[in-house]
Copies of this chain bind each other. A is one copy, B any other.
Amino acid sequence: MAKLGEKKISSKKVFSGRLLKLRVDTVKLPNGVRTTREIVAHPGAVTIIALTDRNELVLVRQFRTAAGEVLLELPAGVPFKGEQGERTAKRELEEETGYRAKSVKKVYAGYASPGYSDELIQFYFARGLKKYKQMTEEDELIDVELVDLGLCLDLVKTGRIKDNKTVAGILIALNIAGGDW
């Protein structure tokens, strides 16, 4: 079994923006090798698995600048400074989709791309949905789409869903709906 772990030798800050920070760490591995790691620091995100009482998954369709295309995804967002994840989940769900959840529960947390980013996404399952008015921020243009949970896998297979957190969320939603979570 390999000895796992790294010792940080130095760290150079490269960028500090509105959302992201970037640094380059020089590290020493247990085998003595030195290398650099380019690391994006992200405040972390919250995503919401919301099922209507008709077993439809609440998804959002939006243009993603980084991807250069419109994507169909679970609603998600970044917590305000000091905001608890549960609050973020309820707030983002309501802002992006207009659905207010009676309760939300954390079901999983996973890294988006741990090879270079510290972004950890908290997944919340939302129950007791009621539809109000969508209240997106002025730089968010979002369409809401309800997809029958039984059809979600088809959207992944056919490439109509191509976002990894959403695919992870579908696995969780199917297991929650099936009583296996």
A residues within 8 Å of B by Cβ? 1-6, 14-15, 17-20, 22, 24-25, 27, 29-31, 33, 35-40, 42, 45, 61-68, 70-71, 73, 76, 108-121, 138-139, 141-143, 153, 156-157, 159, 161-168, 170-172, 174-175, 180-181
Tell me whether A142 and B2 are in contact in the complex, defined as CB-CB below 8 angstroms, given that A117-B117, A156-B108, A164-B112 are known contacts. yes
- Copies per assembly: 2
Among B2, B153, B172, the residue within 8 A (CB) of A141 is B2
Q: Say how far A18's CB is from chain B's closest CB, in angstroms.
A: 6
Tell me whether A141 and B171 are in contact in the complex, defined as CB-CB below 8 angstroms, given that A20-B38, A114-B67 are known contacts. no
Tell me whether A20 and B40 are in contact in the complex, defined as CB-CB below 8 angstroms, given that A112-B112, A168-B171 are known contacts. yes
Tell me, in angstroms, the Cα distance from A18 to B16 when the chains sit together.
19
Tell me whether A63 and B5 are in contact in the complex, defined as CB-CB below 8 angstroms, given that A38-B18, A110-B162 are known contacts. yes
Tell me, in angstroms, the Cα distance from A129 to B42 when the chains sit together.
37
Can you identify 25 A-B contacts, CB atoms within 8 angstroms?
A: A1-B143, A2-B142, A4-B63, A4-B141, A5-B63, A18-B36, A20-B116, A27-B65, A29-B141, A30-B141, A31-B141, A33-B138, A33-B139, A37-B65, A37-B66, A45-B115, A66-B111, A66-B114, A71-B114, A73-B114, A110-B167, A111-B162, A153-B171, A164-B168, A168-B168
